Amino acid sequence: MHMQQPDESGRFGDFGGRFVPEALMPACLELEAAFKEAWSDPAFVGEFRHVLAEFGGRPTPITHLSRLSDKLGVRIFAKREDLAHTGSHKINNVVGQTLLTKRMGKTRVIAETGAGQHGVATATAAARLGLGCTVYMGELDTQRQELNMFRMELLGARVVPVTSGSRTLKDAVNEAMREWVTCVEDTHYCLGSVMGPHPFPWMVREFQSIIGQEAREQMLSRGEGVPDMVVACVGGGSNAAGIFAGFANTTSRLIGAEAAGGAAVANGSPGVLHGMKSMLIQSEFGQIEEAHSISAGLDYPGIGPEHAHLAATGRAEYVPVSDDEVIPALQLMSELEGIIPALESAHAVAWIIREAGRAIPSGSSVLLNLSGRGDKDVAQVREMLKGQQ
Amino acid sequence: MHMQQPDESGRFGDFGGRFVPEALMPACLELEAAFKEAWSDPAFVGEFRHVLAEFGGRPTPITHLSRLSDKLGVRIFAKREDLAHTGSHKINNVVGQTLLTKRMGKTRVIAETGAGQHGVATATAAARLGLGCTVYMGELDTQRQELNMFRMELLGARVVPVTSGSRTLKDAVNEAMREWVTCVEDTHYCLGSVMGPHPFPWMVREFQSIIGQEAREQMLSRGEGVPDMVVACVGGGSNAAGIFAGFANTTSRLIGAEAAGGAAVANGSPGVLHGMKSMLIQSEFGQIEEAHSISAGLDYPGIGPEHAHLAATGRAEYVPVSDDEVIPALQLMSELEGIIPALESAHAVAWIIREAGRAIPSGSSVLLNLSGRGDKDVAQVREMLKGQQ
Amino acid sequence: MKSLERALRQIRGEGRKALVPYFMAGVTPNWRDYVHAAIQGGADAVEIGLPFSDPLMDGVVIQEAGLRALNAGTTLASVCAELQQESFSVPLVAMTYYNLFHYDGLERAAGRLQQAGITGAIVPDLTLEESTHWRAVCASSDVATIFMVAPSTTSDRFVQLAAATEGFCYAAARMAVTGRAAGAGDAQRVVDSVREVSDVPTYVGIGITQPEQARESSAFSDGVIVGSALVARVLAGDSPVEIEGLIATFRDAIDG
Amino acid sequence: MKSLERALRQIRGEGRKALVPYFMAGVTPNWRDYVHAAIQGGADAVEIGLPFSDPLMDGVVIQEAGLRALNAGTTLASVCAELQQESFSVPLVAMTYYNLFHYDGLERAAGRLQQAGITGAIVPDLTLEESTHWRAVCASSDVATIFMVAPSTTSDRFVQLAAATEGFCYAAARMAVTGRAAGAGDAQRVVDSVREVSDVPTYVGIGITQPEQARESSAFSDGVIVGSALVARVLAGDSPVEIEGLIATFRDAIDG
Ligand SMILES: Cc1ncc(COP(=O)(O)O)c(C=O)c1O
Ligand SMILES: Cc1ncc(COP(=O)(O)O)c(C=O)c1O
């Protein structure tokens, strides 16, 4: 059931590791030790599961998408992370990291956010534990996502607009790391995906693997067996890693749907960014390119190092999905199933729609990780559909 | 555990009944018979529960609000209807009614909506079953809640702006009833609360009573016993009726928090509206007044007839909460607990904050029905807080 | 038998089809002039709308008229007081919603109607099942309770409603609120269903907007009710004299 | 021992404190004139920033300089090619991020530096643990690998880093990225920690913005690095001559 453990240096095969200023190394080492210790302590694991159950809304159900299935000729099941508290899988990770923050005796967290989902989730978990919280958000994103900014403030967080670089997610990560240097003593950096320096990719995957564990049990207990395919969207890759974790040692094919404008596996090459070695989209001179995606959560030029490794070994496949396919997929899912998916999750839906009867043989069973709900995206979708008319 | 059954004519004590045009009487009678039959059929009840589990996200957890509890000196538990699909308890009712629609051989539903919560829920459940769906929404509300209108359209529903009267919820109900007359043959009117003509108040309460059943089991199984108080906000009263249903035959005090500007029990008198006899806010000449509340879902001049009866017998108490108390309550809940409540639900929170140590003796256990999430309200709250500065 | 039904049966006895126009009380200061004009034009009885905030059974035209009347301060009491000052040569029938009577108190409301010379009441949201109290109150007065039947009415309900209605039976021509569509619709089937079980006068309403439609429907019924078509003219500013002329064209069509 | 460390040890041997200014390559077309001017003003070595899209360890000033350089088309190759055309009388040290070398290929990148006359590299995101490959590649060249130590560095890491660093040890005065705050901060403790375990030259950077601060920090270390304070002047449009003057005031403060 379990995915591979990283080696001593935090590598998954050739990828991962730690590429951070020396000032942060002690914190990374401390974090690794603290996580290892906590994660093998049944009391901590129990608390983590308890909070996710009583606060986070776990387990999330698996819904058989019967009308979409009939239409496409495949059996589709959705793991409903959209029903988790704050509207996506992000809550699993932040509950884990904030509990760990407390355990390490730190009193504050910082986080980066793109569209705001991870920022809202972090502010939420921090509020519950009474931790201070500052969220770094690209200035462009603060303008595009004013309401999420206000949501974080309601939750007691301070939101700092990041004015450097492209003023989006990539720069928010840079800025959060720069800030972490200044306050690492009492502050934990609550990273939002399976990326960054070791132990983050591993730790975040472990916290998210509850998705896959539940999903596997649920598929088995409803008599479906393991699905032929497991499909998830991939920005940094935390929701994908979480659900893959339940099926890594089965015969399920694992598919990660990347935004075509940020397809680090299809269009990237190995490189070093944000503390990790992974697949990145780069210019011909080794500068990191900006990603371009309709969905803020996939608007990242890299991918988590474990995914780079799974791609290299062929255990998982990563497929690009273009912006054009995403809106129709969101519409079809809404109309047929009464679930408005997040634009991120709609990438996975779009791939299934495109490939049913092709890369997905008719009659296959497909487990879709519905990583989040689309409420955050309806204003944007509305503008785009207006623009099309 | 159960609440009272209405008598043959659909009365709870003096309240309830059926006050509809003759053209609708056969449909009301048919609906009553169909619901009775279905509700005593284990297959239907099983399907209802199955859909709520696999699609609706039930059971919703109970969260101990430990930081708010500490601050107020009472033990507060929240029933997390905000985690249900579409963001509130409304899904329970619409799943029941759409399943019944199908069973009755009808192919279409209509619904009224205020802010859009019940409309979105209805559109959602209709999409899932492939039923046609038209939602009537006061024109003022369509302007105030453009995004919810678009959400319904994404889900395949048609939204009709209602231009009569005050162009808000009350008129949307009038218009839905007027329309129902024209299409009652193939169309079910999916009413959104425990109001309207018999059997709606009873049927909706039965569908919502899953909240109370779960909550009671959850309180007992966590060793808390029945709470000293059960507190819910009341617009029409469906979420309140749902949670009260689990505790009606216990020693729990039942409290319904009404918006002060629509406090039908405190400021109303018996009257007849929307097919029912209940407590209503009326002018001195028997005209129905418009309600005024910060929260669209409580912006209704009446209350469900069963609540009028519970108020008359003293089994439940109904308390007005003013707009001014609601925003600080929403803020406190967000900051301390990491849960942004719907403005409606924030009325119940506000009452607890106001009365802890007063009407609620210190050390009491209080079960709060957190009927919905505040995401739909953040834009409005933001504007209001801006205005205050 | 109450005076309303006696009068209406007599009209039928004379071989005449009844023409019953509807006006909203209080819609203009001179609203009673329209009632007089209608009688002048050939009405056999007049429906007087009492405005209510939430007219569940009315379309946009009568809603608008009601709103104007309410904004002008019209109440059940004010209408009754105004009517009391005059007398009319044909029966008057109130049309309103139950809450107005309920709020006033049923005895008091019935008393007001009686004193105002109103001899019947159509209350579309007062179902047969809920009407016991109201009918008991009216039993000691001369105010008749008029029930509607509709295309959706089931056969057992036709029996009960036809038996309970006083004055006449209001046969809705279609499944719709007032003022939505025009023509006889299902009226003939509805009227026939009443006739099978009762000899109460049965009038067709909901959708009679043209004299020709009135003629058509009165051919298989005992009369017609004309509402939104007239109210629309009043809202548009037609004078009582113009309304009198309009009513006369209906009269001619029915009689001709 | 590589040439960089020999040169820097010799400076210390002469009783002189080292002054190491930083310039961003490519920030202006005449950027190399600033390097010459700095040497003229009294620099003992010069840090050459190679611009990277995501400078994790830099504050706004150096970020801005990097952005200008990138927009002007500056690359690792272009900088090395430009430097190859000239010669400088003091050692040059590259400062950049690991991805530039990684993308180019470590052998190729090290070869470029060597040919450009760059004798050392500061790569703040290349941790000791991840540096094995790079150091192995540089072993056969004259490019030294310079490590940083910070106030958060633990005692075992001081031992390892001081042992591994070549040329000098970069002592960060504070927990911050470049250009955020000024003053000696924790520098003395950091320098002392290195000295306890090694005799490698140890220079203080991160926060040296004024000649007085340079004097203060050089009193307990072997030299100082001045970055954002100079880059800010370059961005503001100061000429090479003005920069030469500014460097000279640092020189005087340190020596005086
Ligand atoms: C709903 C949703 N899905 C997916 C993602 C992408 O993140 P990850 O690839 O780490 O799952 C995000 C990020 O914001 C998200 O909000
Ligand atoms: C979150 C929420 N709570 C409460 C209500 C009020 O409805 P009821 O009183 O029927 O529970 C609404 C209505 O829209 C709602 O959205």
Domain at D196, CATH number: 3.20.20.70
What is the reported pLDDT for B166?
83
Mean pLDDT of chain D: 97
Looking at the predicted structure, is the pLDDT value of residue B1 above 60? no
Rounded to an integer, the average pLDDT of D65-94 is 97
Mean pLDDT of chain B: 96
Q: How far is the CA of B126 from the centre of ligand 1 (A)?
A: 28
Q: Is B281 left (phi over 0), alpha (psi -120 to 50) or beta?
A: beta
Looking at the predicted structure, is the pLDDT value of residue B387 above 90? no
Contacts of C152 in chain B (CB under 8 A): 22-27, 184-185
Q: Are A5 and A201 in contact (CB under 8 A)?
A: no
Amino acid identity, position B104: M
Q: Are B108 and B187 in contact (CB under 8 A)?
A: yes
Tokens (6 digits) for A286 = 């080794």
Tens of pLDDT, residues A136-165: 999 988 888 889 999 999 999 999 999 988
Min Cα–Cα distance to chain B from C4, Å = 22
Contacts of B54 in chain A (CB under 8 A): 61-64
What is the reported pLDDT for C182?
76
Q: Rounded CA gap, D173 and A74, in Å?
A: 61
Q: What is the ipTM of this complex?
A: 0.95
**Catalytic residue chosen out of the listed positions A166, A193, A365, A371:** A371
Q: Are B241 and B131 in contact (CB under 8 A)?
A: no
What is the reported pLDDT for A1?
43
C21 forms beta bridges with C226
Q: Rounded CA gap, D131 and D127, in Å?
A: 6
> What lines the ligand 2 site, CB under 6 Å?
B 88, 114-115, 117-118, 193, 233-239, 297-298, 342, 344-345, 371-372
Q: Rounded CA gap, D129 and B112, in Å?
A: 64
Contacts of C56 in chain B (CB under 8 A): 20-21, 174, 177-178, 274-275
Nearest to C157 among B17, B18, B25 (CB): B25
Q: Rounded CA gap, B120 and B116, in Å?
A: 6
Q: How far is the CA of A242 from the centre of ligand 2 (A)?
A: 35
What is the reported pLDDT for A2?
62
Task: Look at ligand 1, atom 1, and give the residue with the nearest C-alpha.
Answer: A372
* Chain B, nearest residue to A338 by Cα: B124
How many cross-chain Cβ pairs, B to C, lie less than 8 Å apart?
121
CB atoms within 10 A of CB D114: 16
Return the closest-CA partner of residue A200 out of A185, A212, A190: A190
Tokens (6 digits) for A153 = 């403030």
Tokens (6 digits) for D75 = 């690359």
Q: How far is the CA of B321 from the centre of ligand 2 (A)?
A: 15
Closest atom of ligand 2 relative to the B204 alpha carbon: 10
Confidence of residue B168 (pLDDT cuts 50, 70, 90): confident
Whole-prediction pTM: 0.96
CB atoms within 10 A of CB A29: 16
Tens of pLDDT, residues B191-235: 999 999 999 999 999 999 999 999 999 999 999 999 999 999 999
Amino acid identity, position A144: R
Contacts of B287 in chain C (CB under 8 A): 52-53, 70
Q: Rounded CA gap, A358 and A355, in Å?
A: 5
**How many domains, chain C?**
1
A338/B80 CB distance under 8 A: no
Domains of chain A: 11-51+90-200 (3.40.50.1100), 58-88+209-388 (3.40.50.1100)
C156: annotated active-site residue: no
Q: Rounded CA gap, C168 and C223, in Å?
A: 10
Tens of pLDDT, residues B19-70: 999 999 999 999 999 999 999 999 999 999 999 999 999 999 999 999 999 9
Low-confidence ranges of chain A (pLDDT < 70): 1-2, 389
Q: Are C221 and C184 in contact (CB under 8 A)?
A: no
Looking at the predicted structure, is the pLDDT value of residue D83 above 90? yes
C64: annotated active-site residue: no
Domain hosting D235: range is: 3-9+16-255
Cis ω for the linkage preceding B227 (within 30 of 0): no
Tens of pLDDT, residues D241-251: 999 999 999 99
Q: Which helix (H) or strand (E) holds B270?
A: strand B269-273
Q: Among A183, A287, A290, pick the best mutation site for testing chain D contact (most D Cβ within 10 A).
A: A287
Residue carrying the six token digits 């060249």: D141
* Chain D, nearest residue to A288 by Cα: D53
Residues A119-157 as b or e (16 or more Cβ within 10 Å = b): bbbbbbbbbbbebbbbbbbbbbbbebbebbbbbbbbbbb
**CA distance between the termini of chain C:** 31
| Helix axis angle, D228-236 to D240-255, nearest 10° | 150
Q: Rounded CA gap, D201 and D14, in Å?
A: 13
Chains B and C: 3 or more CB pairs within 8 Å of each other: yes
Task: Look at ligand 2, atom 7, and give the residue with the nearest C-alpha.
Answer: B235
Rounded to an integer, the average pLDDT of B320-336 is 98
Rounded to an integer, the average pLDDT of B262-288 is 97
Exposure on the CB side of residue D179, measured as CA atoms within 13 A = 20
